[in-house]
Amino acid sequence: MAPLSASPATAGVSPSLRPSLVAYKKAAGLIPSPWCGWRRAAVATAATSSNRTAPAEIIVTGNDVPLLSFAEVAERLDEFHASGTRNQNYMAMYSSIFGGITTNPSAMMIPIDDHMVHRGHGVFDTAAIMNGHLYELEQHLDRFLKSASMAKITLPFDRSTIRSILIQTVSASKCTQGSLRYWLSVGPGDFQLSSAGCANSALYAIVIESPLLPVPAGCKVITSSIPIKSQQFAVMKSVNYLPNALTKVEGEENGGFTGIWLDDEGFVAEGSNMNVGFVTQSKELLMPRFDKILSGCTAKRVLTLAKQLVADGRLSGISSRNVSVQEGKAADEMMLIGSGILVKPVVQWDDQIIGSGKEGPIAQTLFSLILEDMRSGPPSVRIPISY
C-alpha cells in the first residue's frame, strides 16, 4: 500500500534519517535496560509530584530519572506493552503523521503537542467490526465529518480517501470482530491555544479486538449531578469527554452502570455515551429528541428496525419527543442504546424499579434485531473487508 501522509513538511526527509522501530529495537538489544530501576524512580517521582507520600525505602534524587536514547525508549515501550498493563488488544493503527499503518502496539503513539491532546481540539467516531464487515461506517463517517466541520478542523484528505484509509487499516489488522475508532485533530505544532501554528491536521485510526459480544443484562442507572454539555458541544462528537467520564464514574460509584443526564429544561437527555429509550405503558417506543444531544447512529438504526415490532403488533408506535423524568420512570421498559452495548435494559433508575424490575421483552428483542443486523444486514450498513 502506498503511504498516505498529511505532513508535506516531512516528505523530503531522507529515509536514512527516519530509521525503523525494528532497527532501533535491534540496537537497543545491545544496551542493558535499567527498566525496573527506572520504574521505581518514576513511581517515586510521580508520588512526590502528586502530593502523595513516596514509599519510605525509595530515595528520590536528582539522578534517578535516566536520559534515554530513542532506541531505549522504543525498547521500554515494548516492555511496557508486554507487561500486561493494557487490557485491550490493539491490532493496527493508522497515523497521517507517519503516513501509514503499524501493527506494533508499541508504535501506536500520537505527538504530545497535538492540540487534540493538550487542548481537546479534535473529534472522533467509531464503527463496529462484525464477521469481517464494518457496520454502519458510512453513517458514522458522515457524523464524523460533520463534527470536524463544527470543530473547524480542515480535512487532511477528502471523504473517499479517509474511508479507504479506515478500511485498509481494518484489513491490515486481520481483526474480524471488534471496533474501529478514528480521530481528526487540528494537528501537532505547539502548545498554544490557537491552532494557527498547526501546519497540518491529523487523522488517526485504531482497530481494537473485542472477541466477546455485549450481554443484554439489566442494570441500574442514576440521575447524574454532573452538568450536561451545552447544546453546541453535546451534538458534536469531540474528544472533550471529561463530563461523560465523570458521569460514568458517578454512576459506578453509586452502584450503577452509568448516569443519566437531564437537559436544561429538566427533560431526559442521554447517558454518559449512549442514548436512552423507553417503552411506555401504551407500548410506544420513545426516545428523547436528538436536537440537544448526540445523534446516535445505533439509536437511529434501532428506531428503523423497531418498525418490525410495530408491524407485528408488539409496539403501538415509535416516537421521538421530550420525555419527563416522571414519564421515564413510569415506563414499562427503559434501555440504553449505543455501539458498545447495543441495547442494554435498565431495571432501576435511582430508587425507582422500572416495570417488572426485569429485562423487558422489547429491549431484548431490539438487542437481537441489532445484533442480527450487524451479522447479516443489508449492504447499506455492512461493508465487507478483504483480509
Instruction: Please identify every residue annotated as catalytic.
Output: 237
> Cell numbers of 257, please?
452502570
Distance CA 156, CA 154 (A): 6
Contact predicate 174/162, CB 8 Å = no
Contact predicate 251/222, CB 8 Å = yes
Q: How many CA atoms lie within 13 A of 242 on its CB side?
A: 5
Pairing label, strands 342-349, 333-338: antiparallel
DSSP line for 223-280: E--SPPPPHHHHTS-BS--HHHHHHHHHHHHTTSSEEEEE-TTS-EEEESSSEEEEE-
Contact predicate 310/317, CB 8 Å = yes
Pairing label, strands 219-223, 202-209: unpaired
Strand, coil or helix: what is 357? coil
